Homo-oligomer: A and B are copies of this chain.
């Protein structure tokens, strides 16, 4: 087997390093590299300081990377320094490309014209002048000699910079994901990047999803399966707990496909009751498919999740086919007025009870004329908890004409986590009802 092609990602930006904005480029690039069979070894986040960016590049070169991808630092402000640092790292001179400068200026003029009617929520170029554009964007036309230019998606061009002295090829991409992602595709078409990827062998990735089982139990299964003679050496298996579910992700070369099939079958046999997705489909997708297949619609009456359940159900394109609607009923009065929960019931059981959840589900179903109703009530915190019903107490109910399901659970975490995990509980209850 040839040694794998290794790569590193350098995410630049003080605002990312300092935690002000979350990086999504590192994870996205990781997925693309995996599809290509490139072994991502390190993702490094560094601030907008030339010395620290250069140190990261030098480290990745010393670790034997064939490819380094940078994101960010290509904007118009003075703290955007990536092209200059990469030129130095790669032994290249930085030169102004006048034709590129004109193309960037044309883009800026077009953007200004196009967003004129969109103020104040658009980017609002309308009221601003030519000067800010020219001064701010000339530096975006500085290119290391020998580099391949990737045409701007926004205003910043990308670069493929081969090393002048045997180091890694550097792919320089802009920070905004909406620019980085299309430019990645363009970069793959360049001979310069293809050259750096010679020898990469595509890898497979598979995902198993389970619900209602502790991670340590999966660890035990892995140990016992291996001790029992199952061949796992060629599988890179990682497990993690996410949004209340267990994910088992496995990466392997196509040659190890039989090993994976045997492993997946063994997990399915041991954990038939909790493995809800043997092919990696999310619970969101499974619920959507179940509703479409059955030709059923769903409606929600939610209290503690405050709209997030409806928001999750409508996150997928095409959800208008099966989401009849939803109502957010925070107060007791709203539960009665908009979801027909009897005031006497709330008085008897309190607003957080299995009975109220069931009444909310029935009310949502009846009000919206939906086939299935979802009712959610709970204590998201930080206030409102009691000895008997502490923060995290959540009651969920799903109701259809031919059956119903109820869940009363105690969820961990802060307000945001309780609200988020509640939607997972409800999706699984709905999935069970549709099965």
Instruction: Give A residues with C-beta under 8 Å from B.
Output: 13-15, 17-24, 26-31, 34, 40-48, 52, 55-56, 59, 63, 75-79, 115, 117-125, 128, 131-133, 135-137, 176, 178, 211-220, 222-223, 236-242, 244, 247, 249, 251, 274, 300, 302, 305-315, 317-320, 323-331, 334, 338, 367-368, 381-383, 407, 409-417, 419, 421, 424-425, 428
Contact = CB atoms under 8 A, between A and B. Distances in A.
Contacts of A237: 79
Given A314-B330, A325-B334, 6 more contacts: A22-B22, A43-B46, A76-B219, A79-B237, A121-B244, A306-B313
A215 B23 CA distance: 19
Contact of A410 (B26, B44, B122, B327): B122
A182 to B, nearest CB: 12
Given A26-B19, A242-B21, A306-B310, A215 B45 contact: no
B325 A121 contact: no
Nearest to A217: B128
Copies held by the complex = 2
B327 A328 contact: yes
Nearest to A220: B132
Among A27, A30, A238, max chain B CB count under 10 A is at: A238
Would you call the interface of chain A mostly helix, strand, loop, or mixed? mixed
A329 to B, nearest CB: 6
Contact of A122 (B15, B326, B409): B409
A326 B323 contact: no
B330 A320 contact: yes
B223 A135 contact: yes
Contacts of A251: 18
A131 B306 CA distance: 41
A198 to B, nearest CB: 23
Instruction: For the complex of A and B, list the 3 residue pairs with the smallest distance between their C-beta atoms, beginning with the closest.
Output: A19-B27, A306-B314, A307-B310
Given A328-B307, A328-B314, A124 B75 contact: no
Nearest to A114: B410
A240 B15 contact: yes
A128 B123 CA distance: 55
A236 B215 CA distance: 43
Contact of A325 (B131, B135, B274, B328): B328
